[in-house]
Amino acid sequence: MTTSGLGKALDDPPAAPAAVVAPADVAPVPDTGAPSDDFERLRELLLGGERRELAAARARITELERTQQDLPRRLPGAAVEALRSGKENARVADALSEPVAQALGSAVQKNRESIVDALFPIIGPMIRKAIAEALRGLVANLNGAIESSFTLRGLQWRLEAWRGGVPYAQVVLKHRLAYGIDHVFLIERGSGLVLRHASAPGQPPLDADAIAGMLTALGDFVDDSVGDDSGGSLDAAQVGEDLVWVEHGPRANLACFMHGVPPVELRALLEQRLEEIHAQVLAMPADTPLRAIGDNALVQDLLDPQNLLRDAGDAAAPIAARTTSRAPIVVIALLALALVGWFAVDRWRWNTRIETLRAQLVAQPGFVLGRIEAKPWRSLVVHGLLDPDAPPLAPLLDAADLGKVVPKLDATGYVSTDDAVIARRATRLLAPPPTVTLAVHERVLALGGQAPAQWIDNAAQHAAWIAGVARVESTLVAEVDGVVAARAELHRVLATLDGIVVPFVQDGEPGADAGRITDAVATTLKRATALAVVAKQHLAITVFGSNDNSGGSEANARVRAVRAQWLALALAARGFDGARTSDEAGPGAPNMRAAYVRAVVEVAP
């Protein structure tokens, strides 16, 4: 049995043979013209047609069984013959798609490890190649971005991208990664024949067949050298000043000759164009010559160098053609100027405060400034030499007004010879009493005042040994006995009371200066009372009144009592209430026409 395709062989039932030979057990009785007996003749008359039809049916069943048994052997040949037939190709592919997919899915579920082991030599190189290409593109992108971002030129390019409304990468391609596509070749993978050759305007003619043969030979050499298992192939080459990128496809390869530094996006574009060309190839009839594929208008448009440049992102013309506005650049300039101004003012404030602190530290006695480690508004460390007796630096550092920065002091001890530090050191070591004055001038220690004799002797022994003291000058006077001194002072104060009187106009009416004189008397009495305590003396203060010669004795006694009482109350009002009054004339009472008061102080032995 012959057929034109697998579908016809499976779908059409076999034609009935022209002459069917029945098997021996069902063969009809030969027609001899006269039956052997009447029974046979009757059976032939009644069942002859049915017996022949039954024999033909059994023959067809036998033939079908033989055909089904022979189907596995004939099926591969029938499938190949059907796929070669243009008319039956789509029908066979459609008929086999679903069962093949189901069979593949079932096989993957049942024999997953076997399938993985079988596909590993293919998938592994594919994955490694994809990862290598992705990493290569990532490194190139990172390198280009880093090289152009942190420079003044990079900022200019970002400004240009913002003004033009295009991605920053396109501006980088325009200025830094300038490149051009010179020639594009579409080469048949097996034979190395040139299917399509496109050149940029102004490029010299090339021997396309020779270049295609060279690339094919190089690709075969790389495949043979590296080995098919690793997936190695010729992807790029340097030919003089031109860079050649080769993209590989199932039926054709795409080779692109370029100058300059092409972007990574161009590689992806070439892969996309090659995939589109293969899609066009698959859409054409199987018997279409590859030369006709290369002459296809769509393929020619896909391989045009100008179209490749445009689609790869060469935005030089669009950027130049856009109408730009000066407003963004003015805003950026103002912002940049404000930022620079703020930074300058901020740095100036910091530097000013550091210099002020530096001047104060230099002038600080007992401290020698080494260096200041300052990070603006972040940290401050002061290094130097500090005398233990020097004034503390903490108040000076706290008053530096450095924001949130806490100044730190890294000081090494030393002995200072500054006068102020020597004075502090002498005060600490000698511990002078309050009655002693201590001063240092040009390392000369001057001591003055009164002090106990024992302290004066100790100071005379140790003052010259104080660090930094060159010479000692002393005018110290030993203190006398306090009781004796107090008694002498008390007698001097009491002597001032003699001759002090408070005038009266008449009777108990005081004169104009009575208040002022009373204030002086009260102050003197208070001083005398304090000295009496130190001198261990007792004072008896009596207030007397005096009169002139006019009037009788009784009247004069009454007037003296009134005047003495007034003075006692006035002294009490001024804080002194320890006086007693008397109506008798005191000793040494003046005899005057005007009235006076005299206070007599009696000192107990």
- Provide the pLDDT for residue 439: 93
Q: Is 526 exposed, middle or buried (0-12, 13-18, 19+ CB in 10 A)?
A: middle
- Distance, in Å, from the CA atom of 568 to the CA atom of 525, rounded to the nearest integer, reads 12
pLDDT, mean over the chain:
74
Output the pLDDT for position 372.
92
Q: Out of 9-23, 130-144, 195-209, 569-583, pick the least confident.
A: 9-23
Give dist(CA 218, CA 66) in Å, integer.
55
Structure tokens at 210: 């020779």
The answer to whether residue 73 scores a pLDDT higher than 70 is yes
Q: What is the pLDDT of residue 437?
A: 92
DSSP track, 181-235:
EEEEEEEETTT--EEEEEE-TTPPP--HHHHHHHHHHHHHHHHHHH-TTTT----
Task: Dihedral sign for Cα 299, 305, 308, 310, please.
Answer: negative
Binned at pLDDT 50, 70 and 90, residue 358 comes out as: very high
| Nearest-10 crossing angle of helices 553-573, 514-534 | 70
Residue 277 has a pLDDT of: 79
Q: Shortest CA distance to 177 belongs to which of 150, 156, 205, 148?
A: 148
Position with higher pLDDT, 29 vs 111 = 111
For residue 151, the model assigns a pLDDT of: 67
Q: In the prediction, which pLDDT does 78 show?
A: 72
**The pLDDT of residue 136 is above 90:** no
Average pLDDT of 341-361? 91
pLDDT band at 486 (very low <50, low <70, confident <90, very high): confident
pLDDT at position 291 is 61
**The pairing of beta strand 509-510 with beta strand 504-506:** antiparallel
Which stretch of 4-8, 76-80, 332-336 has the lowest confidence by average pLDDT? 4-8
What confidence score (pLDDT) does residue 572 get?
A: 85
Give yes or no for a contact between 196 and 303, defined as CB atoms under 8 angstroms apart: yes
Q: Considering the chain, what percentage of its residues have pLDDT values greater than 70?
A: 67
Residues 153-199: pLDDT tens digits?
677 777 777 777 777 766 665 655 567 787 888 887 767 777 777 88
Mean pLDDT check: name the lowest of 24-38, 83-97, 342-356, 383-397.
Answer: 24-38
**Looking at residue 465, what is its pLDDT?**
92
Mean pLDDT to the nearest integer, 427-451: 91
Domains, the chain, in order of start with CATH, read 6-101 (no CATH), 128-321 (3.30.450.30), 329-413 (3.30.300), 419-478 (3.30.1340.30), 483-603 (3.30.1330.60)
| Contacts (Cβ under 8 Å, ≥6 apart) of 274 | 247, 249, 252, 253, 254
Average pLDDT score over residue span 318-332: 56
Confidence band (pLDDT; 50, 70, 90) for 593? very low
Contact 595, 559 (CB under 8 A): yes
What is the arithmetic mean of pLDDT over 285-314?
67
Average pLDDT over residues 324-350: 81
| pLDDT value, residue 421 | 94
Contacts of 235 (CB under 8 A, 6+ apart): 245, 246, 247, 248
pLDDT band at residue 149, thresholds of 50, 70 and 90?
low
The string of pLDDT tens digits covering residues 6-43 is 333 334 444 444 444 444 444 444 444 444 578 777 77
Query: Which of the four pLDDT bands, split at 50, 70 and 90, describes residue 5?
Result: very low
227 burial via Cβ count (<10 Å: 0-12, 13-18, 19+): exposed
- List the Cα angle 390/396/404 in 5-degree steps: 140
Name the least confident of 33-37, 267-271, 295-299.
Answer: 33-37
Residues 6+ apart with CB under 8 A from 135: none
DSSP, collapsed to helix, strand or coil, labels residue 580 as strand
pLDDT score of 138 more than 80: no
- Beta strands, E only, 222-366: 236-239, 242-248, 252-260
Asked if residues 547 and 564 have their Cβ atoms less than 8 Å apart, the reply is no
